[in-house]
Amino acid sequence: MKIIMLGAPGAGKGTQAKMLSEKYDIPHISTGDIFRANIKNNTELGKKAKSYMDAGQLVPDELVVDLVVDRIKAKDCFKGFILDGFPRTIPQAEALDYALNNQNEKIDYAINVDVPDEDIIERMSGRRACVGCGATYHLVYNPTKKEGICDVCGEKLILRDDDKPETVKKRLQVYHEQTQPLIDHYEKKGALLTVDGTQDIKVVFEDITKVLDK
C-alpha cells in the first residue's frame, strides 16, 4: 500500500501517518528524515543535498525526488510506504508518478486530512514548548499542571515563532497555493481520500482505515 499524506501544518497528518505505519507495518517516511539519514551516512545524494542546505538554498526538485525514490526502493518498503511532506508540488508529484510507473507501481491513496484554517490557527497558537527539554503542550488539549511550567523538567514554556498566528497564516497561504493542485492531481487519478480532521484522532483514524481495509 503506497500512501501520500496531505494536510495543512497542524492538521494532524503526521499523527495519522504514525498510526497507519504501525497498523499496516509499512514505514512512515518524511523528507526531513531522508535528508538527515543521507547526510549522516555521507551518501552521494546526501553530499549534494548538504551543499545546497549549507548555502541556504532550497534543495532542487530533481534531487529531492532522487532521494525519495532511492528511499522507497529500500527493503522495508516492500509492502508499501507512507510519504509525509512529499510531494509538495505538481512537478514533484509527476516525477514520483513517473518513477513508480517505471516499476509498474502507483500511489494507492493520497489521504487529505482536511481542517479549516481557523481551527489550525487556534490549534497551533495554543501550542507551548519547553525551553529546557523540548516537551510540547497545548493550552486547551494538553495543559501543564502548573501554568507556563514544564511538567517534565520545570523550565518555562514559550510560544514558538512557527506557532504564532501571523506565521501560521503565512504557512497556510503557501500550503493552499502548493497543495490545492496536488489535491486535484490525485483526485483525477482516483486516489484521493479526504477525511474530516476536526474530529477526535481515533475517529479520523477509523475513517481512514475503513477505506483502506476495503
pLDDT band at 53 (very low <50, low <70, confident <90, very high): confident
- 100 lies in some domain: yes
- 121 lies in some domain: no
Predicted confidence (pLDDT) per residue in 154-172, tens digit = 999 999 998 999 999 998 9
Catalytic residue among 2, 71, 123, 127: 127
Give the alpha-carbon dihedral of 61, 63, 64, 66, to 10 degrees: 120
Residue 128 a catalytic site member? no
- 155 lies in some domain: no
- 142 lies in some domain: no
Residue 73 a catalytic site member? no
What mean pLDDT, rounded, does the chain reach? Answer: 93
Q: What is the pLDDT of residue 3?
A: 97
Q: What is the pLDDT of residue 162?
A: 87
- 134 lies in some domain: no
Catalytic residue among 48, 50, 88, 164: 88
- 158 lies in some domain: no
Measured CA to CA, the distance from residue 5 to residue 112 in angstroms comes to 6
- 122 lies in some domain: no
Catalytic residue among 13, 71, 123, 128: 13
Measured CA to CA, the distance from residue 208 to residue 142 in angstroms comes to 24
Q: Are 115 and 175 a contacting pair, CB within 8 Å?
A: no
User: What interhelical angle do 44-54 and 31-40 show, nearest 10?
Assistant: 110
Residue 103 confidence (pLDDT) above 90: no
Catalytic residue among 23, 79, 160, 170: 160
- 30 lies in some domain: yes
Residue 171 a catalytic site member? yes
* Residue 52 belongs to domain spanning: 2-115+165-212
Residue 205 confidence (pLDDT) above 90: yes
Residue 36 a catalytic site member? no
What is the number of domains present in the chain? 1
Q: What is the pLDDT of residue 94?
A: 94
E strand map for the chain:
2-6, 28-30, 81-84, 109-114, 127-130, 136-138, 157-158, 192-196
Residue 179 confidence (pLDDT) above 90: no
Q: What is the pTM of this model?
A: 0.84
Residue 88 a catalytic site member? yes
Q: State the CATH number of the domain containing residue 207.
A: 3.40.50.300
